[in-house]
Amino acid sequence: MNSSTWSSTWRHRGNPALQNVNVRQALYYGIDKQAYLSAEFPGVNWKQIALTSFLPSVSPWSNNNQLPANPYNLAKAKSLLAAAGYATSTGGSGKHLDLTFTTTNSATRIRSAQLLQRIWEQIGISIKIRYVPAYGSNGNGLFDSFQDGGILARHSFDITEFAFSTNVDPDNTLFNFDPTQIASATNPAGPNYTQVKDAKLVKFFTDARTTLDNAKRKADYAAAQTYMTQQEYYISLYNRPNIIAFKGTIGNFKPNSTEVGNEWNSWQWWYDPTGSQKMS
């Protein structure tokens, strides 16, 4: 989930319900991002922080602005859930879907989990919230290693929420979806927490990273981002703001909230003695 972006993710393949793309899409269309973000961050313009892609807008390869900022469609979410064989209300007859939402116990996470719990209840999905430490003193924390029973590393979740920080270039994002990078006893550091095994998604990345044609590369990454919104292996929720101050004497300063930092293009900076360099 990019550029210090908070992301909600599911797809623990041990849960048969979440292997069904209709269920994953129902969760996606069931989120009213405007209502969610307005409640999560009161007073903040939700459109400025809403994220639609696993690549943030700061990346030149991002398709964030071409995807719907708020895909909320209650009727569609219920229809997809019904097509998967589940009831669309928490009461009454039918097969009811119960999922566990695992996240840390920070104030932001607690508020987010409770908001999403109420949101998904509207389409008939019951959410049990499980708060865990980021790192446990005796293991079993969200980010603990595979050897220490880490929840992400061991894939022991239905839905989880955490932050991703990615590079400007999306090449290394492939490892989050590469089947060879699923964490296991023989590959304990594998970052494919959701155990995605999708050859089509991997092909978009491999095609993009092996071409010298930038237009082709951008098209491949755009297709990968669109495909992700169809498969919903992850849902990108919001962009964490990158607030900085810099002198007006630095020309061509371009802030970058990804893991490469704000000095990523320092070789292109130049000095303006008038101090007139300001960001628009």
- Tell me the domain boundaries of the chain: 5-241, 242-280
Q: How far apart are CA 271 and CA 249, in angstroms?
A: 6
Question: Among 151, 153, 148, which Cα is nearest to 131's?
Answer: 151
Q: How far apart are CA 156 and CA 176, in angstroms?
A: 16
Q: How far apart are CA 95 and CA 176, in angstroms?
A: 32
Evaluate if residue 264 carries a pLDDT over 60: yes
Could you tell me which residues come within 8 angstroms of residue 143 by beta carbon, excluding any fewer than 6 positions away?
Answer: 134, 135, 150, 152, 162
Could you report the per-residue pLDDT of 65-109, keeping only the tens digit for each?
A: 899 999 999 999 999 999 999 999 998 899 999 999 999 999 999
Evaluate if residue 125 carries a pLDDT over 50: yes
For the ranges 92-96, 117-121, 258-262, the lowest mean pLDDT is seen at 258-262
pLDDT value, residue 257: 61
Could you report the per-residue pLDDT of 223-253, keeping only the tens digit for each?
A: 999 999 999 999 989 987 666 777 788 888 8
Average pLDDT across the chain, whole number? 88
> What is the CB neighbour count within 10 angstroms for residue 173?
23
Across 22-43, average pLDDT? 95
pLDDT value, residue 240: 74
Bridge partners (DSSP) listed for residue 239 = 5
Q: What is the pTM of this model?
A: 0.85
Evaluate if residue 2 carries a pLDDT over 50: no
Question: Among 225, 246, 245, 244, which Cα is nearest to 236's?
Answer: 225
pLDDT value, residue 4: 39
pLDDT value, residue 171: 85
Q: How confident is the model at residue 1 (pLDDT cuts 50, 70, 90)?
A: very low
Could you tell me which residues come within 8 angstroms of residue 112 by beta carbon, excluding any fewer than 6 positions away?
Answer: 6, 36, 40, 103, 161, 237
Bridge partners (DSSP) listed for residue 133 = none
Bridge partners (DSSP) listed for residue 104 = 132
Helix (H, G, I), strand (E, B) or coil at 54: coil
Helix (H, G, I), strand (E, B) or coil at 19: helix
CATH superfamily, region 5-241: Dipeptide-binding Protein; Domain 3 (3.10.105.10)
DSSP 241: P
Answer with the residue of higher pLDDT: 267 or 32. Answer: 32
